[in-house]
Protein backbone atom coordinates (compact mmCIF):
# COMPACT_ATOMS: atom_id res chain seq x y z
CA UNK A 1 0.00 0.00 0.00
CA UNK A 2 1.48 3.39 -0.85
CA UNK A 3 2.17 5.61 2.11
CA UNK A 4 -0.40 8.28 1.19
CA UNK A 5 -3.10 5.65 1.22
CA UNK A 6 -1.92 4.59 4.67
CA UNK A 7 -2.11 8.21 5.86
CA UNK A 8 -5.72 8.37 4.71
CA UNK A 9 -6.89 5.49 6.90
CA UNK A 10 -9.09 7.22 9.47
CA UNK A 11 -11.05 6.28 12.58
CA UNK A 12 -14.76 5.51 12.57
CA UNK A 13 -16.97 8.00 14.41
CA UNK A 14 -17.29 5.56 17.31
CA UNK A 15 -13.50 5.20 17.55
CA UNK A 16 -13.07 8.96 17.40
CA UNK A 17 -15.55 9.52 20.23
CA UNK A 18 -13.85 6.84 22.30
CA UNK A 19 -10.40 8.37 21.70
CA UNK A 20 -11.62 11.76 22.89
CA UNK A 21 -12.72 10.26 26.21
CA UNK A 22 -9.01 9.72 27.00
CA UNK A 23 -9.41 8.14 30.42
CA UNK A 24 -11.95 5.57 31.61
CA UNK A 25 -12.51 3.44 34.68
CA UNK A 26 -12.55 -0.32 34.81
CA UNK A 27 -14.46 -1.79 37.74
CA UNK A 28 -13.78 -5.41 38.68
CA UNK A 29 -16.45 -6.59 41.09
CA UNK A 30 -18.13 -9.95 41.69
CA UNK A 31 -17.78 -13.17 43.68
CA UNK A 32 -13.98 -12.82 43.59
CA UNK A 33 -14.38 -9.72 45.75
CA UNK A 34 -15.85 -11.93 48.47
CA UNK A 35 -13.48 -14.87 47.96
CA UNK A 36 -10.33 -12.74 48.04
CA UNK A 37 -9.44 -14.23 44.65
CA UNK A 38 -8.61 -13.08 41.12
CA UNK A 39 -10.02 -15.94 39.09
CA UNK A 40 -13.07 -17.75 40.46
CA UNK A 41 -13.69 -21.43 39.77
CA UNK A 42 -17.32 -21.01 38.75
CA UNK A 43 -18.38 -23.06 41.76
CA UNK A 44 -18.79 -20.13 44.15
CA UNK A 45 -21.99 -20.02 46.14
CA UNK A 46 -24.02 -16.92 45.14
CA UNK A 47 -24.80 -16.71 48.84
CA UNK A 48 -21.43 -15.04 49.42
CA UNK A 49 -22.36 -11.98 47.37
CA UNK A 50 -23.46 -9.46 49.98
CA UNK A 51 -22.24 -5.88 49.31
CA UNK A 52 -24.22 -4.36 52.19
CA UNK A 53 -23.35 -0.73 51.47
CA UNK A 54 -23.13 -0.82 47.69
CA UNK A 55 -23.19 2.78 46.46
CA UNK A 56 -22.56 3.18 42.75
CA UNK A 57 -22.88 6.96 43.09
CA UNK A 58 -19.76 6.89 45.30
CA UNK A 59 -17.81 5.07 42.55
CA UNK A 60 -19.01 7.50 39.92
CA UNK A 61 -18.15 10.58 41.98
CA UNK A 62 -14.66 9.27 42.63
CA UNK A 63 -14.16 8.60 38.92
CA UNK A 64 -15.36 12.06 38.01
CA UNK A 65 -12.93 13.57 40.50
CA UNK A 66 -10.13 11.94 38.51
CA UNK A 67 -11.43 13.35 35.23
CA UNK A 68 -12.60 9.92 34.05
CA UNK A 69 -15.25 9.98 31.31
CA UNK A 70 -16.61 6.42 31.19
CA UNK A 71 -16.90 3.32 33.38
CA UNK A 72 -16.71 -0.33 32.30
CA UNK A 73 -18.14 -2.87 34.74
CA UNK A 74 -17.30 -6.60 34.87
CA UNK A 75 -20.89 -7.72 34.46
CA UNK A 76 -19.63 -11.31 34.28
CA UNK A 77 -16.05 -12.37 34.95
CA UNK A 78 -14.50 -15.78 34.19
CA UNK A 79 -16.39 -17.37 37.12
CA UNK A 80 -19.67 -16.84 35.26
CA UNK A 81 -21.45 -15.04 38.12
CA UNK A 82 -23.72 -12.33 36.69
CA UNK A 83 -24.08 -8.96 38.38
CA UNK A 84 -27.51 -8.62 36.81
CA UNK A 85 -30.48 -11.00 37.18
CA UNK A 86 -29.97 -12.73 33.84
CA UNK A 87 -32.93 -14.81 32.69
CA UNK A 88 -30.54 -17.40 31.29
CA UNK A 89 -28.72 -18.61 34.40
CA UNK A 90 -29.26 -19.11 38.09
CA UNK A 91 -25.67 -18.10 38.79
CA UNK A 92 -26.35 -14.43 39.46
CA UNK A 93 -27.32 -11.75 41.94
CA UNK A 94 -30.87 -13.08 41.93
CA UNK A 95 -29.73 -16.00 44.08
CA UNK A 96 -27.68 -13.88 46.43
CA UNK A 97 -28.80 -12.45 49.78
CA UNK A 98 -28.05 -8.93 48.51
CA UNK A 99 -31.37 -7.05 48.42
CA UNK A 100 -33.05 -10.44 48.88
CA UNK A 101 -32.15 -11.41 45.35
CA UNK A 102 -33.97 -8.38 43.94
CA UNK A 103 -30.88 -6.30 43.24
CA UNK A 104 -29.21 -5.48 39.93
CA UNK A 105 -25.67 -4.09 40.10
CA UNK A 106 -25.59 -3.35 36.37
CA UNK A 107 -28.71 -1.22 36.70
CA UNK A 108 -27.43 0.66 39.75
CA UNK A 109 -24.10 1.41 38.12
CA UNK A 110 -25.49 2.36 34.70
CA UNK A 111 -28.09 4.62 36.35
CA UNK A 112 -25.45 6.27 38.54
CA UNK A 113 -23.24 6.86 35.49
CA UNK A 114 -26.07 8.43 33.54
CA UNK A 115 -27.08 10.65 36.46
CA UNK A 116 -23.55 12.10 36.63
CA UNK A 117 -22.80 12.26 32.90
CA UNK A 118 -20.38 9.35 32.76
CA UNK A 119 -20.66 6.87 29.89
CA UNK A 120 -21.27 3.23 30.74
CA UNK A 121 -19.62 0.15 29.24
CA UNK A 122 -19.83 -3.59 29.81
CA UNK A 123 -17.22 -6.31 30.26
CA UNK A 124 -18.65 -9.76 29.56
CA UNK A 125 -16.10 -12.55 29.84
CA UNK A 126 -16.31 -15.04 26.98
CA UNK A 127 -14.49 -17.58 29.15
CA UNK A 128 -17.08 -18.94 31.59
CA UNK A 129 -16.13 -21.52 34.20
CA UNK A 130 -19.67 -21.94 35.45
CA UNK A 131 -21.65 -22.69 32.33
CA UNK A 132 -22.10 -26.46 32.00
CA UNK A 133 -21.97 -26.49 28.21
CA UNK A 134 -18.93 -24.23 27.79
CA UNK A 135 -16.55 -26.02 25.44
CA UNK A 136 -18.74 -29.14 25.28
CA UNK A 137 -21.55 -27.75 23.19
CA UNK A 138 -20.05 -24.71 21.52
CA UNK A 139 -23.21 -23.65 19.71
CA UNK A 140 -25.28 -23.82 22.88
CA UNK A 141 -22.74 -21.70 24.76
CA UNK A 142 -22.58 -19.17 21.92
CA UNK A 143 -26.36 -18.86 22.06
CA UNK A 144 -26.18 -18.36 25.83
CA UNK A 145 -23.51 -15.70 25.40
CA UNK A 146 -25.56 -13.88 22.74
CA UNK A 147 -28.61 -13.97 25.01
CA UNK A 148 -26.61 -12.38 27.80
CA UNK A 149 -25.21 -9.75 25.46
CA UNK A 150 -28.72 -8.94 24.30
CA UNK A 151 -29.83 -8.42 27.91
CA UNK A 152 -26.94 -6.08 28.62
CA UNK A 153 -27.32 -4.15 25.38
CA UNK A 154 -31.06 -3.62 25.61
CA UNK A 155 -31.85 -3.06 29.28
CA UNK A 156 -29.25 -0.55 30.44
CA UNK A 157 -29.39 2.44 28.09
CA UNK A 158 -26.53 3.60 25.87
CA UNK A 159 -23.37 1.51 26.06
CA UNK A 160 -20.12 3.13 24.91
CA UNK A 161 -17.93 0.02 24.99
CA UNK A 162 -18.17 -3.76 25.02
CA UNK A 163 -14.90 -5.10 26.39
CA UNK A 164 -14.04 -8.69 25.43
CA UNK A 165 -11.27 -10.33 27.38
CA UNK A 166 -8.98 -12.76 25.59
CA UNK A 167 -8.08 -14.70 28.71
CA UNK A 168 -8.83 -18.39 28.90
CA UNK A 169 -6.98 -20.52 31.39
CA UNK A 170 -8.37 -23.88 30.35
CA UNK A 171 -4.95 -24.92 29.11
CA UNK A 172 -4.00 -27.44 26.44
CA UNK A 173 -6.13 -30.27 27.79
CA UNK A 174 -9.05 -28.08 28.83
CA UNK A 175 -12.42 -27.55 27.23
CA UNK A 176 -12.16 -25.75 23.89
CA UNK A 177 -14.91 -23.29 23.20
CA UNK A 178 -15.05 -21.81 19.72
CA UNK A 179 -16.47 -18.34 20.08
CA UNK A 180 -18.76 -17.05 17.37
CA UNK A 181 -17.13 -13.62 17.30
CA UNK A 182 -18.84 -12.53 14.11
CA UNK A 183 -22.27 -13.17 15.64
CA UNK A 184 -21.27 -11.30 18.82
CA UNK A 185 -20.07 -8.31 16.79
CA UNK A 186 -23.17 -8.30 14.58
CA UNK A 187 -25.44 -8.20 17.62
CA UNK A 188 -23.49 -5.31 19.17
CA UNK A 189 -23.59 -3.33 15.91
CA UNK A 190 -27.32 -3.96 15.67
CA UNK A 191 -28.22 -3.03 19.24
CA UNK A 192 -25.56 -0.45 20.15
CA UNK A 193 -24.03 0.86 16.91
CA UNK A 194 -22.11 3.59 18.78
CA UNK A 195 -20.29 1.16 21.08
CA UNK A 196 -16.66 0.29 20.45
CA UNK A 197 -15.76 -3.39 20.73
CA UNK A 198 -12.48 -3.54 22.60
CA UNK A 199 -9.60 -6.02 22.85
CA UNK A 200 -11.11 -9.14 21.25
CA UNK A 201 -12.86 -6.85 18.84
CA UNK A 202 -12.27 -4.64 15.82
CA UNK A 203 -12.28 -1.16 17.38
CA UNK A 204 -9.78 -0.88 20.24
CA UNK A 205 -6.46 -2.71 20.61
CA UNK A 206 -4.91 -3.99 23.84
CA UNK A 207 -1.52 -2.44 24.56
CA UNK A 208 -0.14 -5.89 25.36
CA UNK A 209 0.54 -5.75 29.10
CA UNK A 210 -1.35 -5.09 32.31
CA UNK A 211 1.41 -3.15 34.04
CA UNK A 212 0.71 0.27 32.57
CA UNK A 213 3.62 0.13 30.12
CA UNK A 214 3.25 2.02 26.85
CA UNK A 215 5.15 2.16 23.58
CA UNK A 216 7.37 5.06 22.64
CA UNK A 217 5.83 5.15 19.15
CA UNK A 218 2.21 4.03 19.32
CA UNK A 219 0.60 3.90 15.88
CA UNK A 220 -3.15 3.82 15.42
CA UNK A 221 -2.79 2.35 11.92
CA UNK A 222 -1.53 -1.23 12.15
CA UNK A 223 -1.76 -4.47 10.14
CA UNK A 224 -5.24 -5.98 10.14
CA UNK A 225 -3.70 -9.16 11.47
CA UNK A 226 -3.06 -7.37 14.79
CA UNK A 227 -6.81 -7.49 15.36
CA UNK A 228 -6.71 -11.25 15.21
CA UNK A 229 -4.06 -11.84 17.86
CA UNK A 230 -6.67 -12.47 20.54
CA UNK A 231 -8.66 -14.92 18.55
CA UNK A 232 -5.49 -16.70 17.53
CA UNK A 233 -4.02 -16.71 21.04
CA UNK A 234 -7.17 -18.24 22.39
CA UNK A 235 -6.64 -21.33 20.21
CA UNK A 236 -2.90 -21.01 20.16
CA UNK A 237 -2.23 -24.73 20.23
CA UNK A 238 -3.13 -24.92 16.59
CA UNK A 239 -0.04 -25.37 14.46
CA UNK A 240 -1.22 -23.28 11.52
CA UNK A 241 -1.35 -20.21 13.74
CA UNK A 242 2.22 -20.53 14.92
CA UNK A 243 3.69 -18.52 12.05
CA UNK A 244 1.32 -15.67 12.67
CA UNK A 245 1.97 -15.56 16.38
CA UNK A 246 5.66 -15.27 15.65
CA UNK A 247 5.05 -12.40 13.26
CA UNK A 248 3.09 -10.15 15.61
CA UNK A 249 3.13 -10.29 19.32
CA UNK A 250 1.82 -8.02 22.00
CA UNK A 251 5.37 -7.44 23.13
CA UNK A 252 6.42 -5.86 19.85
CA UNK A 253 7.70 -2.36 20.34
CA UNK A 254 6.71 -1.31 16.84
CA UNK A 255 3.44 -2.25 15.19
CA UNK A 256 3.10 0.52 12.66
CA UNK A 257 6.27 2.20 11.37
CA UNK A 258 6.92 2.31 7.62
CA UNK A 259 9.33 -0.62 7.88
CA UNK A 260 6.83 -2.79 9.71
CA UNK A 261 3.86 -2.09 7.46
CA UNK A 262 5.82 -2.07 4.18
CA UNK A 263 4.78 -5.54 3.06
CA UNK A 264 1.46 -5.73 4.84
CA UNK A 265 -1.44 -6.35 2.48
CA UNK A 266 -4.09 -4.75 4.70
CA UNK A 267 -4.02 -2.09 7.39
CA UNK A 268 -6.66 -0.72 9.72
CA UNK A 269 -7.32 2.06 12.24
CA UNK A 270 -6.92 0.15 15.51
CA UNK A 271 -5.99 2.50 18.37
CA UNK A 272 -4.37 1.41 21.59
CA UNK A 273 -5.72 1.22 25.13
CA UNK A 274 -3.48 0.89 28.19
CA UNK A 275 -5.30 -0.99 30.95
CA UNK A 276 -3.94 -1.43 34.43
CA UNK A 277 -5.16 -1.53 38.00
CA UNK A 278 -4.74 1.07 40.71
CA UNK A 279 -3.78 -1.88 42.96
CA UNK A 280 -1.76 -5.08 42.45
CA UNK A 281 -4.92 -7.08 41.66
CA UNK A 282 -7.92 -6.51 39.41
CA UNK A 283 -10.26 -7.41 42.27
CA UNK A 284 -10.29 -5.98 45.77
CA UNK A 285 -8.06 -7.55 48.43
CA UNK A 286 -7.87 -6.00 51.85
CA UNK A 287 -4.19 -6.91 52.02
CA UNK A 288 -3.57 -4.42 49.19
CA UNK A 289 -5.12 -1.40 50.92
CA UNK A 290 -1.70 0.12 51.37
CA UNK A 291 -0.48 -0.79 47.92
CA UNK A 292 -2.58 1.67 45.95
CA UNK A 293 -0.41 3.06 43.18
CA UNK A 294 1.29 6.33 44.04
CA UNK A 295 0.30 9.56 42.35
CA UNK A 296 3.71 9.63 40.66
CA UNK A 297 3.10 6.22 39.11
CA UNK A 298 -0.35 7.19 37.91
CA UNK A 299 1.02 10.37 36.37
CA UNK A 300 3.74 8.39 34.61
CA UNK A 301 1.11 6.02 33.18
CA UNK A 302 -1.08 8.97 32.22
CA UNK A 303 1.76 10.58 30.28
CA UNK A 304 2.58 7.29 28.56
CA UNK A 305 -1.00 6.46 27.63
CA UNK A 306 -3.10 9.61 27.17
CA UNK A 307 0.11 11.45 26.31
CA UNK A 308 1.25 8.64 24.00
CA UNK A 309 -1.64 8.28 21.54
CA UNK A 310 -3.57 5.76 23.66
CA UNK A 311 -6.48 5.78 26.06
CA UNK A 312 -6.00 4.98 29.73
CA UNK A 313 -8.31 2.39 31.32
CA UNK A 314 -7.71 2.48 35.06
CA UNK A 315 -9.19 -0.27 37.23
CA UNK A 316 -10.55 0.59 40.67
CA UNK A 317 -12.03 -2.43 42.51
CA UNK A 318 -14.84 -1.90 45.05
CA UNK A 319 -14.50 -3.69 48.39
CA UNK A 320 -16.81 -6.22 50.05
CA UNK A 321 -19.11 -3.48 51.25
CA UNK A 322 -19.55 -2.33 47.67
CA UNK A 323 -17.52 0.86 48.05
CA UNK A 324 -14.25 2.20 46.68
CA UNK A 325 -11.74 2.21 49.53
CA UNK A 326 -10.81 5.65 50.86
CA UNK A 327 -7.18 5.23 49.72
CA UNK A 328 -8.30 4.71 46.12
CA UNK A 329 -10.77 7.60 46.33
CA UNK A 330 -8.03 9.86 47.62
CA UNK A 331 -5.66 8.87 44.81
CA UNK A 332 -8.28 9.46 42.15
CA UNK A 333 -8.89 12.91 43.59
CA UNK A 334 -5.17 13.67 43.52
CA UNK A 335 -4.87 12.51 39.92
CA UNK A 336 -7.76 14.71 38.86
CA UNK A 337 -6.32 17.69 40.70
CA UNK A 338 -2.96 17.14 39.06
CA UNK A 339 -4.46 17.00 35.56
CA UNK A 340 -6.70 20.01 36.10
CA UNK A 341 -3.94 22.11 37.67
CA UNK A 342 -1.28 21.21 35.12
CA UNK A 343 -3.36 21.37 31.96
CA UNK A 344 -5.80 24.04 33.13
CA UNK A 345 -3.44 26.91 32.33
CA UNK A 346 -2.08 27.03 28.79
CA UNK A 347 0.97 29.30 28.56
CA UNK A 348 0.30 29.59 24.81
CA UNK A 349 -3.01 31.40 25.35
CA UNK A 350 -2.73 34.72 23.56
CA UNK A 351 0.41 33.66 21.66
CA UNK A 352 1.18 34.30 18.00
CA UNK A 353 1.76 31.34 15.72
CA UNK A 354 3.05 31.01 12.15
CA UNK A 355 4.04 28.13 9.87
CA UNK A 356 6.39 28.22 6.88
CA UNK A 357 3.83 26.37 4.79
CA UNK A 358 0.06 26.51 5.15
CA UNK A 359 -2.66 25.25 2.90
CA UNK A 360 -5.30 27.90 2.09
CA UNK A 361 -8.12 27.77 4.60
CA UNK A 362 -6.11 25.81 7.23
CA UNK A 363 -4.43 28.67 9.08
CA UNK A 364 -1.88 28.11 11.84
CA UNK A 365 -4.12 29.91 14.39
CA UNK A 366 -6.33 26.81 14.53
CA UNK A 367 -3.57 25.12 16.54
CA UNK A 368 -4.10 27.53 19.43
CA UNK A 369 -7.77 26.60 19.76
CA UNK A 370 -9.07 23.53 21.58
CA UNK A 371 -11.41 22.50 18.74
CA UNK A 372 -10.22 19.04 17.60
CA UNK A 373 -11.92 19.38 14.23
CA UNK A 374 -10.23 22.60 13.09
CA UNK A 375 -6.61 22.23 12.12
CA UNK A 376 -3.56 23.55 10.33
CA UNK A 377 -2.06 21.59 7.46
CA UNK A 378 0.50 22.01 4.70
CA UNK A 379 -0.01 22.12 0.95
CA UNK A 380 -0.34 18.89 -0.98
CA UNK A 381 3.17 17.51 -1.57
CA UNK A 382 4.72 19.22 1.47
CA UNK A 383 5.60 16.74 4.18
CA UNK A 384 7.82 18.86 6.44
CA UNK A 385 7.26 22.20 8.13
CA UNK A 386 8.45 24.66 10.76
CA UNK A 387 5.97 26.22 13.14
CA UNK A 388 6.99 29.14 15.34
CA UNK A 389 5.19 30.28 18.43
CA UNK A 390 5.76 33.63 20.09
CA UNK A 391 4.28 33.55 23.60
CA UNK A 392 2.58 36.66 24.93
CA UNK A 393 5.22 36.84 27.71
CA UNK A 394 8.44 35.12 28.72
CA UNK A 395 7.24 31.96 30.47
CA UNK A 396 8.53 28.90 32.27
CA UNK A 397 7.20 25.50 31.20
CA UNK A 398 8.09 21.80 30.90
CA UNK A 399 5.24 20.18 28.92
CA UNK A 400 4.05 20.66 25.35
CA UNK A 401 0.91 18.96 24.06
CA UNK A 402 0.56 18.24 20.34
CA UNK A 403 -2.54 16.85 18.67
CA UNK A 404 -3.05 15.77 15.09
CA UNK A 405 -6.49 16.03 13.56
CA UNK A 406 -6.92 12.26 13.54
CA UNK A 407 -10.23 12.49 11.76
CA UNK A 408 -7.88 12.98 8.78
CA UNK A 409 -5.67 10.03 9.75
CA UNK A 410 -2.31 9.76 11.51
CA UNK A 411 0.51 11.33 9.50
CA UNK A 412 3.43 12.69 11.51
CA UNK A 413 6.39 10.30 11.83
CA UNK A 414 9.15 12.48 13.24
CA UNK A 415 9.30 15.90 14.87
CA UNK A 416 11.46 18.03 17.13
CA UNK A 417 10.91 21.05 19.32
CA UNK A 418 13.38 23.85 20.06
CA UNK A 419 13.24 26.97 22.21
CA UNK A 420 14.97 30.29 21.75
CA UNK A 421 17.50 30.95 24.48
CA UNK A 422 18.88 34.52 24.39
CA UNK A 423 20.48 34.30 20.94
CA UNK A 424 20.10 30.76 19.61
CA UNK A 425 17.66 27.89 19.15
CA UNK A 426 18.29 25.07 21.58
CA UNK A 427 16.86 21.54 21.31
CA UNK A 428 14.02 20.73 23.70
CA UNK A 429 12.45 17.49 22.55
CA UNK A 430 12.58 14.94 19.72
CA UNK A 431 9.77 12.53 19.00
CA UNK A 432 8.16 10.23 16.46
CA UNK A 433 4.39 9.80 16.38
CA UNK A 434 1.89 12.40 17.55
CA UNK A 435 -1.54 10.97 16.74
CA UNK A 436 -4.52 11.90 18.90
CA UNK A 437 -2.32 13.39 21.61
CA UNK A 438 1.36 13.58 22.43
CA UNK A 439 2.47 15.08 25.74
CA UNK A 440 6.13 16.03 25.37
CA UNK A 441 7.92 16.11 28.74
CA UNK A 442 11.26 17.90 29.23
CA UNK A 443 13.13 19.85 31.86
CA UNK A 444 11.79 23.28 32.70
CA UNK A 445 12.81 26.13 30.34
CA UNK A 446 12.12 29.85 30.30
CA UNK A 447 11.55 31.58 26.98
CA UNK A 448 8.97 33.28 24.81
CA UNK A 449 9.79 31.50 21.54
CA UNK A 450 9.18 27.87 20.56
CA UNK A 451 9.80 26.13 17.23
CA UNK A 452 8.17 22.85 16.22
CA UNK A 453 9.75 21.14 13.22
CA UNK A 454 7.91 18.34 11.50
CA UNK A 455 10.72 16.37 9.94
CA UNK A 456 8.88 13.44 8.38
CA UNK A 457 5.28 12.66 7.68
CA UNK A 458 3.28 10.29 5.51
CA UNK A 459 1.34 13.01 3.78
CA UNK A 460 0.51 16.69 4.41
CA UNK A 461 0.87 16.85 8.23
CA UNK A 462 -1.98 18.25 10.31
CA UNK A 463 -2.03 19.71 13.81
CA UNK A 464 -5.25 20.62 15.54
CA UNK A 465 -3.71 21.76 18.81
CA UNK A 466 -0.49 22.95 20.43
CA UNK A 467 -0.53 23.68 24.18
CA UNK A 468 2.29 24.74 26.51
CA UNK A 469 2.17 24.00 30.24
CA UNK A 470 4.05 23.98 33.49
CA UNK A 471 3.53 20.81 35.50
CA UNK A 472 1.88 21.39 38.89
CA UNK A 473 2.45 18.57 41.36
C1 LIG B 1 -7.45 -10.51 32.13
C2 LIG B 1 -8.30 -11.28 33.12
O3 LIG B 1 -7.91 -12.63 33.23
C4 LIG B 1 -8.17 -10.55 34.43
O5 LIG B 1 -8.84 -11.21 35.47
C6 LIG B 1 -8.72 -9.14 34.25
O7 LIG B 1 -10.10 -9.19 33.99
C8 LIG B 1 -7.98 -8.45 33.11
C9 LIG B 1 -8.53 -7.09 32.76
O10 LIG B 1 -7.99 -9.23 31.95
O11 LIG B 1 -7.32 -11.13 30.93
Q: Where do the H-state alpha helices sit in 13-167?
A: 13-21, 31-35, 56-66, 105-116, 138-155
Measured in Å, residue 275 CA sits from the centre of ligand 1 at: 10
Nearest atom of ligand 1 to the alpha carbon of 277: 9
If you count them, how many residues does the chain have?
A: 473
Measured in Å, residue 195 CA sits from the centre of ligand 1 at: 20
Determine phi and psi for 247, rounding to 5 degrees. -70, -50
Measured in Å, residue 96 CA sits from the centre of ligand 1 at: 24
- Taking a C-beta distance cutoff of 8 angstroms, is the pair 403, 434 a contact? yes
pTM of the model: 0.96
Residue with CA nearest ligand 1 atom 3:
167
Measured in Å, residue 436 CA sits from the centre of ligand 1 at: 26
Measured in Å, residue 165 CA sits from the centre of ligand 1 at: 7
> Given ligand 1 and candidates 165, 273, 275, 281, which is best to mutate, with the most ligand atoms within 8 Å of its CB?
165
Measured in Å, residue 336 CA sits from the centre of ligand 1 at: 25
Ligand 1 binding site (Cβ under 6 Å of any ligand atom):
38, 165, 167, 275, 282
> Given ligand 1 and candidates 121, 164, 167, which is best to mutate, with the most ligand atoms within 8 Å of its CB?
167
- Taking a C-beta distance cutoff of 8 angstroms, is the pair 400, 463 a contact? no
> Given ligand 1 and candidates 37, 126, 282, which is best to mutate, with the most ligand atoms within 8 Å of its CB?
282
Distances (CA, A) of 466 to 153, 312, 388, 463: 38, 21, 11, 8
Residue with CA nearest ligand 1 atom 2:
167
**Tens digits of pLDDT across the chain (473 residues):** 799 999 999 999 999 999 999 999 999 999 999 999 999 999 999 999 999 999 999 999 999 999 999 999 999 999 999 999 999 999 999 999 999 999 999 999 999 999 999 999 999 999 999 999 999 999 999 999 999 999 999 999 999 999 999 888 776 677 888 899 999 999 999 999 999 999 999 999 999 899 999 999 999 999 988 877 555 555 443 444 555 555 667 778 999 999 999 988 899 999 999 999 999 999 999 999 999 999 999 999 999 999 999 999 999 999 999 999 999 999 999 999 999 999 999 999 999 999 999 999 999 999 999 999 999 999 999 999 999 999 999 999 999 999 999 999 999 999 999 999 989 999 999 999 999 999 999 999 999 999 999 999 999 999 999 999 999 99
Measured in Å, residue 421 CA sits from the centre of ligand 1 at: 49
Amino acid sequence: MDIQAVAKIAPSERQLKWNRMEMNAFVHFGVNTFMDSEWGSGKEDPGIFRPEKLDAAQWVRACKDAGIKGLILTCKHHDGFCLWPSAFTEHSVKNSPWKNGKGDVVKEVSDACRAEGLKFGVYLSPWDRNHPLYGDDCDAYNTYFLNQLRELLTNYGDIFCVWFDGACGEGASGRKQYYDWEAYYALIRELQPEAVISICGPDVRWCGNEAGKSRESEWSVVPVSCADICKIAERSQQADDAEFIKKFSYDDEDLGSREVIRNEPELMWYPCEVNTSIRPGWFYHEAHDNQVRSLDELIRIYYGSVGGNSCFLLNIPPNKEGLFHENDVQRLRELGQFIRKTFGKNVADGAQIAADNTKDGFAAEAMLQQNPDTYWCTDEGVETANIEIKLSAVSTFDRIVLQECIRQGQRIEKFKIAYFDSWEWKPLYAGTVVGYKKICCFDMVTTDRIKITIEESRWQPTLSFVGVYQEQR
